[in-house]
Amino acid sequence: MSSDFVIKRFNHLRRLICVHGRYSYWRTTQVVMLCFYKNLAFPLPLFWYTFYSWANGTTSYDSLLITLFNTFFTSLPPFFAGLFDIDVREVSRGARNAGRWDNC
């Protein structure tokens, strides 16, 4: 797999690992948590509805609702997670917080 950037000096590697690596880790965990939420939010009400309806095979969801649920919970939350993904500003790694980034 090829790289899409060139590191001319090794002091740039620290910023790449500490800042952008943290952002990438944060984005990945947020998308995974959204996938877990989506995969639990849809079938759990159906599970409880089977007890209410005595498992007679009827569904509580309309087909349009199923389509909209999959569309919105599959596309919009990862989009907004990628848009607002910065949890720690890069400015905060300045001189006053230099000790915080020494061990990364």
Residue pLDDT, tens place only, 33-84: 888 888 888 889 888 888 888 888 777 788 888 888 878 877 887 787 777 7
Distance of alpha carbon 34 from alpha carbon 64, whole angstroms: 22
Whether the predicted pLDDT of 104 surpasses 60: no
Distance of alpha carbon 100 from alpha carbon 64, whole angstroms: 50
Phi, psi of 38 (to 5 degrees): -65, -40
Query: How many folded domains does the chain comprise?
Result: 1
pTM of the full predicted structure?
0.64
Here the tokens at position 97 are 């917080």
The reply to whether 49 falls in a domain is yes
The reply to whether 3 falls in a domain is no
pLDDT band at 96 (very low <50, low <70, confident <90, very high): very low
Kindly list the distances between the CA atom of residue 66 and the CA atoms of 23, 70, 73, 78, in Å, as whole numbers in the listed order.
32, 6, 11, 19
The reply to whether 104 falls in a domain is no
Residues of the domain holding 80: 11-89
Q: What is the pLDDT of residue 51?
A: 87
